[in-house]
Amino acid sequence: MTWNMDVRKDEPAPLGWHKAVCLRPEPVETAAFGTRLHWRYRLLESAIEVSGWTSMSPSTKARAYQWAETLNGGPIDPKVGWGPETVESKRCWVKVEAYKDSKGETRTKVAEIAPIDEEPGEEVDFSDISA
């Protein structure tokens, strides 16, 4: 049997805020941190995929809940909870940042998300304000 595999050259996502659609988040067993939730987003302007990671903590203070709440458009009913179908195919803004992986390679990740109906602002620098 012969087969042929297509080759995809993964380009790093440009840094900053981008409109994106959430793909189905999946739990992944990691050696260092146990089970983590892997979030994948497709940037709408370029179709590049970026990802972020959260814990599996059920706390409303956990980043997983905050991302689910943002994608859901409001609070999640604690009696019902949430799952991948709650957030899959929902649009949002994603903030892409750079980091160095364990091999020293520069990679990109989703550091935070914001509701699609809000224009995310850049950080405000208050360092020059005197008390």
Is residue 120 included in any domain, yes or no? Answer: no
- DSSP letters spanning 2-28: --------PPPPPSEEEEEEE---EEE
What CATH number should be reported for the domain holding residue 100?
Answer: 2.40.50
DSSP 49: E
Q: Provide the β-strand partners of residue 106.
A: 100
C-alpha span between 40 and 59 (Å, rounded): 21
Is residue 125 included in any domain, yes or no? Answer: no
- Report helix, strand or coil for 61: coil
Q: Could you read off the pLDDT of 91-124 as tens digits, one per residue?
A: 999 999 999 988 998 899 999 999 999 888 655 4
Domain count, the chain: 1
Q: Could you read off the pLDDT of 31-71 as tens digits, one per residue?
A: 988 999 999 999 999 989 999 999 999 999 999 999 999 99
